[in-house]
Chain A
Amino acid sequence: MTDVRTPQSPADTAPGGPAGESPTASAGWLRWAWRQLTSMRTALVLLFLLALGAIPGSLLPQQGTDPGSVDQYYVSHPDLAPWINRLGLFNVFAAPWFAAIYLLLFASLVGCVVPRTFRLVGSARTPPPRAPRNLARLPHSSSYSSALPPAAAVDNAAAVLGGQRFRLRRPAADEPGYWVSAEKGYLRECGNLLFHLSLLGVLLSIAAGGLFGYKADKLLVEGQTFANTVSALNEFHPGRLVSGDSLAPFTLTLNKFTASYVESGESAGQPSNFNANVTYAASSGATPRSYNIRINDPLAVDSLKVYLIGHGYAPEFKVTEANGTVAYEEATPFIPANTSSLLSDGVVKAPDASLGFEGVFVPTAIEVEGTLESIFPAANNPAVSLIGYSGNLGMNSGVSDQTVYQLDTNGLTEISGSPHLLSPGQSWKLPGDKGSIEFVGVKQWVSLAITYDPGQVPALVCGILALAGLLLSFFVRRRRVFVRAVPAASGTGSVVTVGGLTRSDASGGFEEEFADLAAQIAETEPDPGQPQEPIKPEPDHTPEPGSHSEPGA
């Protein structure tokens, strides 16, 4: 942030000690506290703290995104975990101390930016100051003799400066002397203003994103459709002002998921490409469109993005009761237990047939010393190994802790002593006339992350504008040119002095511009006299010219 702070009087910096005008001590302290809060140093410290505070969020498992790992942490660190929880480190972004940091930062930035904005508006609207009395003392100056009377000479100079789009100021009716003040480079203040307003815009966009945005996860098997509605989502993390019925009404169907793996060589089995072919409709009446979601190539529906974040296998099972009725038929998502071989675990629950199965799925099966292993992640030789249970699965008693991926085998009877291996199309006729289970085939599932951040585009636009404003304020110089004419000592004509000053000539070039302007002004002379050599004091030794620009100073 560029600093436009005016120097503060000692009364402003000392707490509780306002010299002269003396409000109560507490008001003084409040003013002091407010000054401290809105100082740039505080803003930077808070920004740093914010970044620091976010670190535990990436080091420790977070309740919002990965509750399973939090439970796991409790198991592995039984002494430490309760303390971490007390400090809110399992849910950093909702912790009161984190909220305190960003609320203070927000207040600090608003308190810093808003007064500056007012000041910049004022500064951009200020007319140029009166011409100083002695222009020869300015960093840049030159003078010439004119045959014209002072008023006409100044008029000519004003016409030249006006033609160069300088903002002009002439003496008021009651002011003595012949002069014109000209100022250019107000774009600098506009740039600065743009920068500060855009900064506020960025803050508001981020706040809007946090309040109105949401993140969600959805697991979808090939052939399945889902409509973007709260109960359809596996995980839903709404912003504070998101109501469940305000989700974008799109529907999405996973047609086919393709994963390619390196077939041979050193990195055999490494994934080389993922592609989820989907059909989606932006709203219930919209025309369906097709899209291929890849890693780093999300589907964008308006401000909403759908990312591919995971995949796995969903073996299809059909459970038939002894009397021939089908009690279960579904492609059942199994969760990869080994991310490189995609050996996956899952359960099949047919509560209405009082049957449950624990299963292991292997995409490319090989038997190693009696145990089933997978040697390749693609489904080249798929197989499942099942352990069957019979009894009441406990799913009819309402609230249940077990998810669809878990089977509580307490109280169930194991059907056979050893796991049963099935290839696609094979059935296992359960002993004791309990029916059968068929391994019908294999489908794949994908895990999709749906993010909606309405603040993203405005934040980007504001960021670009802030940068543009900053560049403007860096590269545009604000410069002043004064012209003053006095009657010549000889009695006819006048002596015209041109003075110039700039306060921010970081990029250089004002000297040339001034020389050019002075020459142009001198050229307005109908009968050019001998232009005098510019009187140029060393700029380095010039007294601080600020005192000249202040009216009445």
Chain B
Amino acid sequence: MFTVRTPLVFRARRRTVVTVTAVVAVLLAGALAVTLLTQGGSSTSDETVNGNTVVYAAGHQPLAPDFTATSLTGTPIKMSSYRGKVLVLNFWGSWCPPCRSEGPTLAVLSQQYGSKGVDFLGDDVSDTPENALAFTRSVGITYPSINDPGYVVVQDFSQATPVSETPTTVVIDAAGHVVGMVLGQTSYGEMTTLLRDAGVNK
């Protein structure tokens, strides 16, 4: 290596350079350490996370995507046809124990809120219609479910809000905005709270 002696100007500035570099390196390493060692758990001002419930603040509610799909029994389902009514959309599968556990609760809720203008819809993932219908029959779910074995609707929906777990239950208001959702197994209380946020009282 051609060892070029540090020019005079440079030698005078060298200490500054070393100090600046040290500070930058320490800051970079620190930032890296913080990002690497802290796990997710983010909560922005747009959303409130309470347990496994996410509630979006007014004005920050993502618009649910519009899609067309086919139900377990083969009838076409259009998301846009649910506009004008509050919709509870439940992502589930007959193979998934928490989904099976919350099924009877959703069946009861759909009976109680049906008369209040709330629609219920399921999205059955990684499943076959035969297995899914055997379950809805046995717990008395009468609302339809989308046949979504490949998670295509989940992917569509994740553009608006992440559906990162099965089950996930999303409440969408009459204008088509996501009011909030429950990630994981939901309960009667969580659903009535979310529905109240969507403007529907029991």
A residues bordering B, Cβ < 8 Å?
A: 2-4, 6, 34, 96, 99, 103-104, 106-107, 110-111, 114-115, 118-119, 122-123, 126, 188-189, 192, 207, 210-211, 224-232, 240-241, 243-245, 247, 249, 251, 253, 284, 318, 325-330, 349-353, 395-400, 404, 473, 478, 503-504, 546, 549-552
Nearest B-chain residue to A549, judged by Cβ: B5
Judge whether B17 is part of the interface by a CB distance below 8 angstroms. yes
Out of A228, A328, A397, A503, name the residue touching B134 (CB < 8 Å). Answer: A328
Q: Please, which residues of chain A bring their CB within 8 A of the CB of B2? A: 188-189, 478, 503-504
Pairwise interchain contact B21-A251, C-beta atoms closer than 8 A:
no
How many angstroms between the C-alpha atoms of A241 and B40 in the bound complex?
Answer: 8
Pairwise interchain contact A231-B150, C-beta atoms closer than 8 A:
no
Pairwise interchain contact B3-A6, C-beta atoms closer than 8 A:
yes
Pairwise interchain contact A326-B5, C-beta atoms closer than 8 A:
no
Pairwise interchain contact B3-A399, C-beta atoms closer than 8 A:
no
Pairwise interchain contact A399-B152, C-beta atoms closer than 8 A:
no
How many angstroms between the C-alpha atoms of A397 and B101 in the bound complex?
Answer: 5
Pairwise interchain contact A227-B150, C-beta atoms closer than 8 A:
yes
Pairwise interchain contact B138-A122, C-beta atoms closer than 8 A:
no
Q: Please, which residues of chain B bring their CB within 8 A of the CB of A224? A: 149-150
Pairwise interchain contact B154-A350, C-beta atoms closer than 8 A:
no
Q: Please, which residues of chain A bring their CB within 8 A of the CB of B161? A: 245
Pairwise interchain contact B5-A225, C-beta atoms closer than 8 A:
no
How many angstroms between the C-alpha atoms of A400 and B98 in the bound complex?
Answer: 8
How many angstroms between the C-alpha atoms of A70 and B164 in the bound complex?
Answer: 26
Q: Please, which residues of chain B bring their CB within 8 A of the CB of A249? A: 155, 159
Q: Please, which residues of chain B bring their CB within 8 A of the CB of A546? A: 3, 5
How many angstroms between the C-alpha atoms of A122 and B17 in the bound complex?
Answer: 12
Pairwise interchain contact B29-A103, C-beta atoms closer than 8 A:
yes
Nearest A-chain residue to B42, judged by Cβ: A243
Judge whether B97 is part of the interface by a CB distance below 8 angstroms. yes
Q: Please, which residues of chain A bring their CB within 8 A of the CB of B156? A: 284
Q: How far is the CB of A472 from chain B (nearest CB, A)?
A: 13
Judge whether B191 is part of the interface by a CB distance below 8 angstroms. no
Pairwise interchain contact B151-A111, C-beta atoms closer than 8 A:
no
How many angstroms between the C-alpha atoms of A107 and B155 in the bound complex?
Answer: 39
Pairwise interchain contact B97-A399, C-beta atoms closer than 8 A:
yes
Secondary structure type dominating chain B contacts: helix
How many angstroms between the C-alpha atoms of A245 and B68 in the bound complex?
Answer: 21
Pairwise interchain contact A226-B25, C-beta atoms closer than 8 A:
no
Pairwise interchain contact A231-B91, C-beta atoms closer than 8 A:
yes
List 5 A-B pairs, minimum CB-CB distance, nearest first: A225-B150, A227-B155, A232-B151, A398-B101, A329-B130
Q: Please, which residues of chain A bring their CB within 8 A of the CB of B71? A: none
Pairwise interchain contact A284-B155, C-beta atoms closer than 8 A:
yes
Q: How far is the CB of B8 from chain A (nearest CB, A)?
A: 8
Q: How far is the CB of A237 from chain B (nearest CB, A)?
A: 13
A-B contact list, 21 entries, CB within 8 Å = A34-B22, A106-B29, A107-B28, A115-B21, A118-B10, A119-B6, A122-B6, A126-B7, A224-B149, A231-B163, A241-B35, A245-B162, A247-B158, A249-B155, A251-B152, A326-B134, A328-B131, A330-B130, A330-B131, A396-B97, A549-B5
Q: A228-B155, A249-B155 are in contact. Are A353 and B134 (CB under 8 A)?
A: yes
How many angstroms between the C-alpha atoms of A353 and B130 in the bound complex?
Answer: 12
Considering the complex, which residues of chain B in the window 98-153 have a beta carbon less than 8 Å from any beta carbon of chain A?
98, 100-103, 125-126, 128, 130-131, 134-135, 137-138, 149-152
Pairwise interchain contact A352-B137, C-beta atoms closer than 8 A:
yes
Q: A231-B91, A231-B154 are in contact. Are A110 and B28 (CB under 8 A)?
A: yes
Pairwise interchain contact A328-B130, C-beta atoms closer than 8 A:
yes
Given A103-B33, A115-B14, 8 other A-B contacts at CB below 8 A? Answer: A122-B6, A210-B36, A229-B154, A284-B156, A328-B134, A352-B134, A396-B101, A396-B103
Q: How far is the CB of A91 from chain B (nearest CB, A)?
A: 13
Pairwise interchain contact A352-B138, C-beta atoms closer than 8 A:
yes
Pairwise interchain contact B166-A231, C-beta atoms closer than 8 A:
yes
Q: Please, which residues of chain A bring their CB within 8 A of the CB of B3? A: 4, 6, 503, 546
Q: Please, which residues of chain A bring their CB within 8 A of the CB of B46? A: none
Q: Please, which residues of chain B bring their CB within 8 A of the CB of A549? A: 5
Q: Please, which residues of chain A bring their CB within 8 A of the CB of B35? A: 211, 240-241
How many angstroms between the C-alpha atoms of A107 and B33 in the bound complex?
Answer: 11
Q: Please, which residues of chain A bring their CB within 8 A of the CB of B103? A: 396
Pairwise interchain contact B125-A232, C-beta atoms closer than 8 A:
yes
Pairwise interchain contact B150-A99, C-beta atoms closer than 8 A:
no
Out of A111, A230, A284, A318, name the residue touching B164 (CB < 8 Å). Answer: A230
Q: Please, which residues of chain A bring their CB within 8 A of the CB of B166? A: 231
Q: How far is the CB of A401 from chain B (nearest CB, A)?
A: 9
Q: Please, which residues of chain B bring their CB within 8 A of the CB of A353? A: 134
Q: Please, which residues of chain A bring their CB within 8 A of the CB of B135? A: 351-352
Out of B22, B101, B138, B185, name the residue touching A111 (CB < 8 Å). Answer: B22
Q: How far is the CB of B100 from chain A (nearest CB, A)?
A: 5
Q: A231-B165, A397-B97 are in contact. Are A245 and B158 (CB under 8 A)?
A: yes
Nearest B-chain residue to A114, judged by Cβ: B21
How many angstroms between the C-alpha atoms of A63 and B135 in the bound complex?
Answer: 34
Pairwise interchain contact A107-B25, C-beta atoms closer than 8 A:
yes
How many angstroms between the C-alpha atoms of A103 and B31 in the bound complex?
Answer: 10
Q: Please, which residues of chain A bring their CB within 8 A of the CB of B36? A: 99, 210-211, 240
Nearest B-chain residue to A547, judged by Cβ: B5
Q: A99-B37, A245-B158 are in contact. Are A325 and B134 (CB under 8 A)?
A: yes
Nearest B-chain residue to A351, judged by Cβ: B100
Judge whether B175 is part of the interface by a CB distance below 8 angstroms. no
Nearest A-chain residue to B98, judged by Cβ: A398
Q: Please, which residues of chain A bring their CB within 8 A of the CB of B168? A: 231
Q: How far is the CB of A263 from chain B (nearest CB, A)?
A: 35
Q: Please, which residues of chain B bring their CB within 8 A of the CB of A318? A: 130
Pairwise interchain contact A3-B1, C-beta atoms closer than 8 A:
yes
Judge whether B95 is part of the interface by a CB distance below 8 angstroms. yes
Q: Please, which residues of chain B bring their CB within 8 A of the CB of A327? A: 130-131, 134
Q: Please, which residues of chain B bring their CB within 8 A of the CB of A207? A: 32
Q: How far is the CB of B133 from chain A (nearest CB, A)?
A: 8
Q: How far is the CB of B3 from chain A (nearest CB, A)?
A: 7
